[in-house]
Structure 1
């Protein structure tokens, strides 16, 4: 199998990346909603990896300026390569290092992340995969603090997380005056448990604006109509 994943409007080279394109990432890119009146929305993708979410958002929001940052040097170089080869290259930028280095450098309409979420779990012996997939809750506290400091007043933070971790992050977000505005509960099949949640937090007034259920498979090996619908703008198979 080749290392290039071809989308309708861009290609993603995944060679040597610790985290490949996965269902979590593409669903986050396809399902999150950004509320902004800005002529050129500013988006930050934290832990960009191959850059796939940044590329999807550049496609979805044709005037957005998107920065993808990753602590892994190889991922940063691969994202930069994928950005430079895309038709959106003038609106995409890759940054190397921890997102904390960007503190105060800009303000954003949207901060998005498909973050490491195996908190307090056994360490993966592969060092780069350990960085990409394992973290302590301090990571999320730092992410919330960063978002509080760097989002515009109407801006939002969107994350995809396992169910229990999503609850913890929502609870901790209150410390930074965030409110849960949207929640998408993702299930593999209609009658199975929720496996992931896409949560959107902001400091705008009001409570939960919408909560919905998203089913990936109609039956084993067959994607749901909704899955095909939301990924049709991106996937060649649809």
Structure 2
């Protein structure tokens, strides 16, 4: 499918190695957006999906996407959206990304590459976006700390084991304050973890709020009401 249509925008994905998927939509819908958010950053933007979701949800914010791969498709998707004037994209490793005006971001999001020890894929594009070769977790952490505004939040989605690994790397630097385990059906184990972080000094003494989300009921093409409610502003089918 070369174009994925949402209620308020469409995502062309002919050239991006990773297509629109549940992980990105979950993160874009789950991340908390504050009325005071003015600068939002999407790390590893790909097609621009999460950046577009943020532009829809935060009508006062300037949204930036950065990716080591080409961002031409993301730019085209932004230009075709209602929020073209508030979206911009840069082709650069986030480790080297320096905002032109020295901005720091109220909200940073990432659906990052996460395979660490597994074999790489013969497809170079898919390897780059799914294996933590060009963006190791410690370098992602350091980039977030450098770019995050005081009081800013960082939200990401990872598989369970990788989420634990990332959280361990962040101890003393970033602290989780909100965490949601995602199951595909009620009988399946948690497959993904959505986590929101604050700087450790800002989260001091604040417990992490844990909950869970189930996507489907277990019947074909039947979704739970909580998943429908979370993604209703985006998916055409809801």
TM (norm. structure 2) is: 0.92
Q: CA deviation at 1:22?
A: 0.3
> Matched residue of 1:217: which SS?
coil
Please give the per-residue CA displacement for 1:52-84, whole angstroms capped at 9, x wherever unaligned.
1110111111111100111112xx110010011
Paired positions, count = 232
Q: Structure 1 unaligned runs (5+)? A: none
In structure 2, the partner of 1:163 is 160
1:73-112 aligned within 5 A? 73=70, 76-103=71-98, 105-112=102-109
Partner Cα separation in structure 2 for residue 120 and residue 64 of structure 1: 37
Moved more, 128-137 or 10-19: 128-137
Q: CA deviation at 1:232?
A: 1.0
> Matched residue of 1:94: which SS?
strand
TM (norm. structure 1) is: 0.92
Change in Cα spacing, 1:138 to 1:128, as seen in structure 2 (3 Å) is closer
Cα RMSD (Å): 1.6
> Matched residue of 2:177: which SS?
strand
Structure 2 residue aligned with 1:194, among 166, 190, 197?
Answer: 190
Q: CA deviation at 1:140?
A: 1.1
Q: CA deviation at 1:146?
A: 1.1
Greater helix share, 1 or 2? 1
Partner Cα separation in structure 2 for residue 47 and residue 149 of structure 1: 16
Please give the per-residue CA displacement for 1:170-219, whole angstroms capped at 9, x wherever unaligned.
111114x2111110100011122110000111122333342110001012
Contact 1:179 1:207 in 2 (8 A): no
> Matched residue of 1:190: which SS?
coil
Q: Structure 2 unaligned runs (5+)? A: none
Structure 2 residue aligned with 1:48, among 45, 48, 52?
Answer: 45
In structure 1, the partner of 2:232 is 232
1:60-79 aligned within 5 A? 60-73=57-70, 76-79=71-74
Q: CA deviation at 1:36?
A: 6.3
Moved more, 182-191 or 206-215: 206-215
1:1-238 aligned within 5 A? 2-35=1-34, 37-38=36-37, 41-73=38-70, 76-103=71-98, 105-136=102-133, 139-175=136-172, 177-203=173-199, 204-205=202-203, 206-221=205-220, 222-238=222-238
